[in-house]
Chain A
Amino acid sequence: MLRRIYRCVVRVHPPGFRKRFGDEMLSIFDHAKGRLSTFRLLMDSILSLIRQWTLRPEFWNESVSAPAPEDALDGIPSFCTLTPFRPRATAVIPGLILTMAVFSLTCVAIKYSWIRVLHVRIPEVQFEAPQWIPPNGRPADLPDRTTEPVQDRSKHRQCTCTNR
């Protein structure tokens, strides 16, 4: 039970510290004998957790083993094209809150937009169905538009798109 708690405490340490020393801390815990000493180790890990998150921000995202730039086989040095930039955890939380606030405002703005409030009607755009021309068809085979009955002209004004 205590080991499980200890493991959880080690797991919530900053990633850089956990990856580097987590296994060794567990190894030391496994070698501890007696309930009192394991309890002491648990207390020590809790203190360590607080210390790492509050006093050691420079080690939060430290990589496990920073690889040195290696020379390629032909003697030409390889270059790192991407910097290992990661935003700070403290910057992520306000960013998340801000994103959620903007998203909520956008949703509200869409739902209660001025168009709806002012009852402005946006004309609907309709497209004509594509006409099918037989392979050996002639233009004469097409329906004569001049003989079509004149319909509501206002509708035609709205829809001006034709497929050619």
Chain B
Amino acid sequence: MEGDPHFFLPLSPATLHILLSLAGEDLHGYGIMQEVARQSEGKYRLGPGTLYDNLQKLIQREWVEELGRRAGDEDPRRRYYRLTLTGQGVLEAEIARLTEVVREARSRLQIARPSTAKPRRA
């Protein structure tokens, strides 16, 4: 049951943004925070506490793997993280779900639009 990515859906906003930021490239914690802020145009900001709490969970689920430190980095305390294939599968499942939600929402809004128009007087 837990092998099925749909078991974990829907993802929390923090998890979704972290997975999304790691989908492009391997990043360290501070990089993930900056990427999340960029993706959401500054509307969603992750604090380090929330970030590492989620990363801890994601590493345990093996959606994200820790790569360790990189030589020659600006700050030697930084560790890099990478999205695993399992994590990628979950992210794809979540994006498919969200796409379906958006499609459904658009179709409903199109149906609802005429009814919101003011009734004509005879």
| A residues at B contact (CB < 8 Å) | 17, 20-21, 23-31, 40-41, 43-45, 47-49, 51-52, 56, 59
Contacts and interface: CB of A to CB of B under 8 A. Distances in A.
27 contacts: A17-B52, A17-B56, A20-B52, A21-B52, A21-B55, A24-B28, A24-B29, A25-B48, A25-B49, A25-B52, A27-B29, A27-B30, A28-B30, A28-B33, A31-B30, A41-B47, A41-B48, A43-B47, A44-B48, A45-B47, A45-B48, A45-B49, A47-B49, A47-B50, A48-B53, A51-B53, A56-B53
A24 B49 contact: no
Given A44-B49, A44-B50, A21 B56 contact: yes
A161 B49 CA distance: 73
Contact of B52 (A31, A40, A47, A48): A48
Given A20-B52, A48-B48, A56-B53, 5 more contacts: A17-B56, A21-B29, A24-B29, A28-B30, A56-B56
Contacts of B43: none
B121 interface: no
B47 A59 contact: no
Interface in B48-63: 48-50, 52-53, 55-56, 60
Q: Which 10 A-B pairs have the closest CB atoms?
A: A48-B49, A44-B47, A21-B52, A27-B77, A23-B77, A44-B49, A25-B48, A28-B48, A24-B29, A27-B75
A24 B53 contact: no
A48 B29 contact: no
A107 B77 CA distance: 52
Nearest to A9: B49
Contacts of B50: 44, 47-48
Given A17-B56, A21-B55, A27 B49 contact: no
